Chain A
């Protein structure tokens, strides 16, 4: 016996697939949309549909954008001697938000994790090496996550770049702002100690 119409059930299922949305939230959202004005619901549907039509991957840095090359790669004001390597497009957003970095980016689209089916060949690493071969920079900043996967990726990428003679740096690792020393894990504390500096 089916208690809700098939079309409603389908939307619940689709929403349920989104990160952070469980079956209850999916049902709540669906019934909210059911009661909403038609124009509002259609605007949402259009926005979702158009996003996929409009968004492309930049052929230079592999960030998502509406143009390729993306506005960052295309911006002649940016510092073309620096290149920052990140795992995901959202990481570009995070670094842009602090307004301290003015160079270029390269998005790998993931990190090495063979157990999850991600090897170096599944990331934009060969593309990075090729890009730097054609357009060398002075410094590459490896800004992958401070996790085992991110660290492995950084080590792997730095090896691939070794022959290019480019300075390769890694984001500093240590204690997070607002954190508490006594709760810090062994790895974080070790890295924080290694990365200490004069004050």
Chain B
């Protein structure tokens, strides 16, 4: 093998990292061409490491990687975007943890998914930038579900394919979409979706972020939107996510800090 074949370049978002050996870290990357992949970054726990800051969690970096026998090894790293706002605010950081955990749970190593890489990168940027991080999360969830093959069907009944009337419908996680009232009446595992929320979900699913970001979604609707998607995602993954608990904790504490003594509406149950 020539040197060229033993080295490859890739851009990547650092999704996860675990301490490895004395001063190394095992990184889980999300890349445009290789999907999820794991590489070793040597010596990055030492303060003098040149690479350390460039392979921080949730950084978008350009990497030069050497093929190894069992694990590939990062030989050079340079930050493209370190998403600073995520590092300054706990609320935003907690959302980034959630986005990363979703990508990690919904993907297998070595499966290329360029669109997912792009939306991950965008979501990290928007999470640092937006005043409505919940809207960013809902937009991201819907895109992710689409790109990994679980796009919820929202405008037509999943059973009879009739267009769902705009006044009411039911969301069924097991069937991956909405049921009209005729099909869904009395069904177990259904959740009411109010017309406003259903319309918002459809809008988020079929318009780009530039349009969606202008939506004004009130707290009640956000609560409902989050509940529907969280339930669906928990159903698909067959488990809850730790980062959801953390996000809820941070949000609850921030709400309490704003209006002490008054319990906020609480968090969506799944």
Contact = CB atoms under 8 A, between A and B. Distances in A.
Contacts of B54: 185
Given A159-B253, A176-B47, A114 B243 contact: yes
A81 interface: no
Rank and list the top 7 A-B pairs by shortest CB-CB distance, nearest first: A185-B53, A20-B21, A114-B243, A176-B47, A114-B246, A148-B57, A183-B50
Category for how many chain B residues contact A = 35 or more
Contacts of A118: 242
B210 interface: no
B211 interface: no
B90 interface: yes
Interface residues of A, number: 31
Contacts of A183: 50
Interface string A104-123: 00000000111111111000
15 contacts: A19-B20, A20-B21, A20-B22, A114-B242, A116-B18, A149-B57, A156-B90, A179-B47, A179-B48, A185-B52, A185-B54, A185-B59, A185-B79, A185-B82, A187-B53
A195 interface: no
Given A184-B53, A185-B54, A115 B16 contact: yes
Interface of A: 19-20, 112-120, 147-149, 151-152, 155-156, 159, 176-180, 183-188, 190
A156 B97 CA distance: 15
A115 B97 contact: yes
For the residues of B in contact with A, the DSSP-based class is: helix
Interface of B: 15-16, 18-22, 24, 47-48, 50, 52-54, 56-59, 79, 82, 84, 86-87, 90, 93-94, 97-98, 100-101, 104, 241-243, 245-246, 249-250, 253, 257
Contact of B246 (A119, A176, A179): A119
Nearest to A115: B101
Given A112-B246, A114-B98, A185-B59, 8 more contacts: A19-B20, A19-B21, A114-B241, A147-B56, A148-B56, A186-B82, A187-B53, A187-B87
Contacts of B94: 114, 152
Contact of A120 (B24, B53, B101, B249): B249
Contacts of A180: 50
A177 B48 contact: yes
Contact of A155 (B21, B57, B90): B90
B224 to A, nearest CB: 24
A70 B50 CA distance: 37
Contacts of B245: 114, 119
Contacts of A177: 47-48
Contacts of B79: 185-186
A127 B129 CA distance: 35
B253 A187 contact: no
